[in-house]
Amino acid sequence: MSKVWDMAGYWFSLHHLLQEISEPDSEPNNMKKIAIFTSGGDSPGMNACVRAAVRAAVYYNIEIYGIRRGYTGMIKGDIVMLDSKAVSNTVQRGGTILKSARSEEFRTPEGRKKAYEQLTALGIEGLIAIGGNGTFTGSDIFYNEYGIPTVGAPGTIDNDLYGTDYTIGFDTAVNTALDAIDKIRDTADSHDRIFFIEVMGRDSGYIAIQSGIGGGAELVMVPETNSSIEEVIETLKGGWNRLKTSSIIVVAEGEDEGGAIAVSNRVKKHVPYADIRVTTLGHIQRGGSPSAYDRILSSRLGVAAVEGLMQGRKNVMAGIINNEVVYTPFKETITLKKPIHPDLIRLVNILSV
């Protein structure tokens, strides 16, 4: 694969972000009541993040409420007080105990007004949002209209949010995909087959690139690179010339050439004699008990979100960069692209020979 990478601006911005790691955007405040919710696609580790935020709030003598089903629950007033016991035995659970939903009503001024009325009726002064770009966009608009600050935690398996090295659930999703790739390789080898394995990643190839490297894939196709059908065929023929009888190609769902089915159909036209199969992993990547890394990451981010609100931060995402907690403005998280490091692309090419 080849592509011209403009990484200088990204790494300069990252360096600048680290320089301002501890600077809150206003004076510390004495919040008494906050609320937490999960929104968008679920990811393993969300419960660990909720648990950490609740226990941090209890530690700092702050009342904390849970909003069920994201912005939908905020509008409907589906809000309950949480305590330490309410989040017991949740650190190992996948999914989200607070549930999640996508709310079209919150996109309207009328919906956001209802949400504000529900929050103010309980005296809630700040929010913790666990989610991705859509979640943070909604929080940013909500603050501009009603002044309720939010600190976000990056909850998405795609690992595509600017301002953190890893997002909640990414490590678990990669390991889930890797386990599937290992099993598929056994049957691919037994039958001398080519398998195209589709993993999640509509706009980001992070799951594909890391599970592909870990699973020994012959090729990885991601949205960030200029892959082509011709390159796939060339890679397969190169393997056959080395007497390789089976191959694994990992395809991110957002790949420019199409998903795994579309790519495999086009390849089949050029090599009709090849025995080709397709496996789409789908939502299996969202579920399951979070890995140790995701539990620890989520716990750090949950505590950081509470402490961010206490420090007077608003409209920022708590993240981890170089093992340090950082806070990135929502506007940067939403608009700036986090590219795959070119060394990972290069590694795929080296290891595929």
CATH number at residue 177: 3.40.50.460
What is the rounded average pLDDT of the residues 172-190?
96
207 with 283, same domain: the answer is yes
Q: Could you tell me how far CA 16 lies from the centroid of its own chain?
A: 23
If pLDDT is split at 50, 70 and 90, which confidence band does 14 have? low
Active-site residue 158, yes or no? yes
Range of the domain at 73: 8-169+290-335
143 with 177, same domain: the answer is no
What is the rounded average pLDDT of the residues 176-198?
96
275 with 314, same domain: the answer is no
- pLDDT, position 8: 39
Q: Which is catalytic among the residues 42, 140, 158, 171?
A: 158
pTM above 0.75, yes or no: yes
Question: How many independent structural domains does the chain possess?
Answer: 2
What's the number of CA atoms in the CB half-sphere (13 Å) around residue 330?
A: 26
If pLDDT is split at 50, 70 and 90, which confidence band does 28 have? confident
Query: What do you get for the CA distance between the two ends of the chain, in Å?
Result: 13
Angle, helices 133-146 vs 109-121, to 10°: value is 70
- pLDDT, position 24: 60
Kindly state the helix (H) or strand (E) to which residue 228 belongs, with its residue range. Answer: none
Sign of the dihedral through C-alpha 10, 209, 330, 300 = negative
If pLDDT is split at 50, 70 and 90, which confidence band does 106 have? very high
54 with 103, same domain: the answer is yes
Q: Is the CB of residue 221 less than 8 Å from the CB of residue 263?
A: yes
155 with 20, same domain: the answer is yes
120 with 204, same domain: the answer is no
Residue 1 domain-assigned?
no
Residue 70 domain-assigned?
yes
